Amino acid sequence: MNHPKTPRQSMNLKQTVFVLAVGLLVCASGAAAQEKLGDFVTEGGFDWMIGEWTAATDQGDKIDLVWKWELDKHMLSVHLKWPNYEYRGMIYYIPAEEKILQIGVDSKGGNGKGLWEANGSKAVNKYEHTDADGQIHKMGMIHSQAGNDTMKMEIYEISDTGQLGESPVLTTEYKRQKKQTPKEAGQEAGKTPGAAGKEKP
């Protein structure tokens, strides 16, 4: 048998709803005021890094690297690829820890995590990779702008104390991949300019 609610019970229910509503408003306003990854990238002057890059190994194999904004610039997706290897990861900001982290996995069964920091005009990623056999490799990757469309990446060994080696063990130069116009794309596909759908003789 249902008993009618007393005025006290009704008041308690109203108070609970009010407190929950206030709490939601506070959380919403706090989230809106939080800085996101995109803010740090812009403030640090690292917007130039976003986009598509390509390089070549000493053996002539092509390396493709893409940094792409996701989730209203709260996250950067990372895609690294060369023959017989592929890596995907994401970079994001943790407000409570005031850290910019990267996590990812690769096509060989490995995974890793890294911490991004700014060192002047250079972006540093101290990364720890664990391969499929459980072996851990630590490296520091320093990214710097070597020209309008050129990025230099230096890879250093990291000591047990977290210090970078004195000199890089590998240096790679990446070139920015410019987006093709529809006209350029048509020409590469063997089409004459202004004659869509017709192949070159």
DSSP secondary-structure letter at 7? Answer: H
For the whole model, what pTM was predicted?
0.73
Q: Is 26 helix (H, G, I), strand (E, B) or coil?
A: helix
pLDDT in tens, the chain (201 residues): 555 555 555 556 566 555 555 455 544 444 445 689 999 999 999 999 999 999 998 889 999 999 999 999 999 999 999 999 999 999 999 999 999 999 999 999 999 999 999 999 999 999 999 999 999 999 999 999 998 899 999 999 998 888 899 999 999 999 999 876 556 555 555 554 444 444 444
- Within 61-189, strands assigned E span 62-70, 75-82, 85-94, 99-106, 111-119, 122-130, 136-147, 150-157, 170-176
Domain spans, the chain:
39-178
User: 39-178 domain in CATH 2.40.128.20?
Assistant: yes
